[in-house]
Amino acid sequence: MFSNYLKPALLGLACLAAAHAQAFTLDGGGSNAPFINLTSRDFQKPGADWTVQEYWQVQSPTAGWGGWAEISNTAYNALYGANVSFADSYALTNLSYGRATTGLSFYTDPDGLNPAQPFYFKGASAAAFTRAFGGDLFSSSTLTFTGYNGSAVVGSFTVDLSDTQFQWFDSPFANTALTSLDFTADAVGARWLIDDIGVVPVASTLAAPVPEPETWALFMLGGGAAFARTTARRRQRHAGAAQ
């Protein structure tokens, strides 16, 4: 009988211990994109039935409008004989002519209506923008990542971008919570390509709390009391039946 009380409690503890959500990686073809808001432009948009659709499947930075566009692996390979990080996906590039910086925040809803949630930035896979779409004038040779917690700068680092391949760059502040992340080119209107961004929502990385000794004591006390009550009721029933 005591096991009937113990099993649900142990099951609950097991569920808590297993509640560690793993990190997810975003790319131009990923399914987590609706939860990432990029200055009001998502990597992708949710469809009417909440299925994920590509926002822009473009071969040119002049198509569409806003802060981002996508270039297919086919187009990138045709130009350089190289592949993006995920051959079946699209690399992302910034589209804004009037600024050098584009931002990222993590939201718990596709429309970004809820407050931005803290996250860890583990790194990104990036390359220089395809020069066939504008020559050196529009290609950024560097990319600067700047992480913020509120208005405070958590950290910043700059990487050199390759013209012919994507490279993964680890974040030096990967274990510090951010509320937003900026991507900055080396000049206004200059572009870069990203095909992979490692983001870990802070809430999902929190380990289940380990019960304090007194909590375990109360748990065992409660279980013992329940067992005692059950035993007493059984004795009463047996006593009544014997009369």
Residues 6+ apart with CB under 8 A from 26: 32, 33, 36, 43, 196, 197, 198, 199
Question: What is the C-alpha to C-alpha distance for residues 119 and 168, in angstroms, rounded to an integer?
Answer: 19
pLDDT of residue 240: 56
> What string of DSSP letters covers 189-221?
T-BEEEEEEEEEEHHHHPPPPPPPHHHHHHHHH
pLDDT digit string, tens, across residues 2-47 = 333 333 333 333 332 222 223 334 433 333 333 333 333 333 333 4
Q: How large is the average pLDDT for residues 188-204?
A: 73
pLDDT of residue 159: 97
Predicted confidence band of residue 176 (pLDDT cuts 50, 70, 90): very high
Mean pLDDT is lowest, of 78-87, 96-105, 118-127, 153-162, for 78-87
pLDDT of residue 192: 82
Supply the DSSP symbol for 58. Answer: B
Instruction: Report CA-CA distances (Å) from 104 to 44, 209, 226.
Output: 14, 30, 52
| Position with higher pLDDT, 125 vs 138 | 125
pLDDT of residue 41: 34
Q: Which amino acid is at 187?
A: A
pLDDT digit string, tens, across residues 146-175 = 998 888 999 999 999 988 778 889 999 999
Q: How large is the average pLDDT for residues 95-104?
A: 65
pLDDT of residue 200: 74
Question: What is the C-alpha to C-alpha distance for residues 195 and 51, in angstroms, rounded to an integer?
Answer: 21
pLDDT digit string, tens, across residues 111-122 = 445 566 788 888
pLDDT digit string, tens, across residues 57-80 = 222 233 333 344 455 666 666 665
pLDDT averaged over every residue in the chain: 59
| Position with higher pLDDT, 144 vs 225 | 144
Using the predicted structure, report yes or no on whether residue 135 has a pLDDT greater than 60.
no
